[in-house]
C-alpha cells in the first residue's frame, strides 16, 4: 500500500468485518471505489491506491472496501452473493451520510460498473450521486462471465483437456464449486449476478449525475462493441468518453502504470467540482 494518506480498518458490515481502506479529504466530498473482480483487483490495487492519493489531494474522502469473502475481509467467496455485497455498500453510504457527507461519487472498474448499476437500480441510497467515473467497464453480464470462464477453459486446454462454458455452467447447476484462478465460484453467487439489474440507472440519465467513461485500447478508434455500447449509452445519458492508449493494467503479467488514466481522471474531478 505505502500511501501515507490511507487508513486501514476492519469495519462491521452486514454479515461480518470488511477490510476498508479510506482517506480523508479536506472538502468533505465522498468517493467510493467499486473494484474489479478476482485477480483483476489484485493487479489493479496499486493503480487504485495512486488514484486515491490524487483524489484525496483534491478534497475527496475515498473509500475502497474488500467485499465479504474477498481480499482481507471476513468470509469465503462461496458464502457471498451480489445481494450481500450491495447491502454492504448501502450500509457504507448510510455511514457516510451519518458522518455529514451530502453527496457521493463513484469510481467503478470493470465488474464494478455492473455492480454499481445494479446498486443504483435496486436501492434507495442515502446520498445523491454527483459523479460516476467508469474505467474499462463491463456493461453486459454475459461478457463478464464469458471472459472469466475463459480463464478456466484456457487452464484446462493447457492440460490437454477440453472444456466449455456450458459444461462449467452445468457443474454450477449441479452444485459443484468451480475454482477459477484460485477463486471458488458456486451456484448461489453465479445466480445472484444473473438476477442483477444492469440497465443505465435513472440518476445517470438526463444529466442528473456526471458520467465519464475511460477506455484503454491500442486502437486509434473504439472497437465495434465499444462503439455500439457507447451509442446505446448516449441515447439516454450525457457521457464524456475518452480512449486511452495504455497497457491493460488489470490483466498484464507485470504490474503496469496508467499515468494518462490517472491524470485525466483526476482532472475530471476538478473539472466537475464533485
Q: Mind listing the pLDDT tens digit of every residue in the chain (274 residues)? A: 456 688 999 999 999 999 999 999 987 899 999 999 999 999 999 999 999 999 999 999 999 999 999 999 999 998 999 999 999 999 999 999 999 999 999 999 999 999 999 999 999 999 999 999 999 999 999 999 999 999 999 999 999 999 999 999 999 999 999 999 899 999 999 999 999 999 999 999 877 789 999 999 988 899 999 999 999 999 989 999 999 999 999 999 888 889 999 999 999 998 754 3
What are the grid coordinates assigned to 137, written together?
Answer: 467497464
Alpha carbon distance 91, 198 (integer Å):
21
| Closest to 88 measured CA to CA, from 191, 18, 21, 32 | 18
Helix/strand/coil for 195:
coil
Q: Global pTM?
A: 0.94
| Cβ atoms 257, 249 nearer than 8 A | yes
> Cell 472444456 maps to which residue?
163
Amino acid at each position: 500500500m505505502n500511501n501515507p494518506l490511507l487508513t486501514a480498518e476492519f469495519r462491521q458490515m452486514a454479515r461480518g468485518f470488511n477490510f476498508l481502506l479510506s482517506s480523508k479529504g479536506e472538502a468533505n466530498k465522498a468517493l467510493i471505489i467499486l473494484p474489479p473482480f478476482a485477480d483483476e483487483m489484485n493487479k489493479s490495487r496499486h493503480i487504485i491506491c495512486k488514484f486515491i492519493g490524487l483524489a484525496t489531494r483534491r478534497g475527496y474522502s475515498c473509500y475502497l472496501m474488500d467485499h465479504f469473502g474477498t481480499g482481507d475481509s471476513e468470509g469465503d467467496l462461496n458464502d457471498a452473493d451480489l445481494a450481500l455485497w450491495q447491502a454492504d455498500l448501502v450500509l457504507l453510504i448510510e455511514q457516510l451520510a451519518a458522518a455529514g457527507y451530502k453527496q457521493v461519487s463513484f469510481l467503478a472498474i470493470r465488474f464494478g460498473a455492473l455492480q454499481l448499476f445494479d446498486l443504483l437500480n435496486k436501492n434507495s441510497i442515502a446520498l445523491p450521486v454527483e459523479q460516476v467515473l467508469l474505467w474499462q467497464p463491463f456493461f453486459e453480464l454475459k461478457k463478464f462471465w464469458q471472459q472469466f470462464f475463459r480463464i478456466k477453459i484456457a487452464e484446462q486446454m493447457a492440460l490437454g483437456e477440453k472444456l466449455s462454458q456450458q459444461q462449467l455452467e452445468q457443474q454450477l447447476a449441479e452444485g459443484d464449486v468451480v475454482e477459477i484462478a484460485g477463486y471458488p465460484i458456486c451456484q448461489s453467487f453465479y445466480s445472484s449476478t444473473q438476477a442483477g439489474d444492469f440497465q443505465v440507472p435513472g440518476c445517470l440519465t438526463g444529466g442528473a449525475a456526471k458520467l465519464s467513461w475511460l477506455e484503454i485500447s491500442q486502437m486509434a478508434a473504439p472497437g465495434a462493441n465499444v462503439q455500439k455500447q457507447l451509442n446505446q449509452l448516449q441515447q439516454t445519458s450525457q457521457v464524456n468518453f475518452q480512449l486511452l492508449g495504455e497497457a491493460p493494467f488489470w490483466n498484464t503479467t507485470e504490474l503496469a502504470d496508467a499515468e494518462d488514466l490517472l491524470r485525466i481522471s483526476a482532472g475530471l474531478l476538478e473539472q466537475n467540482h464533485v
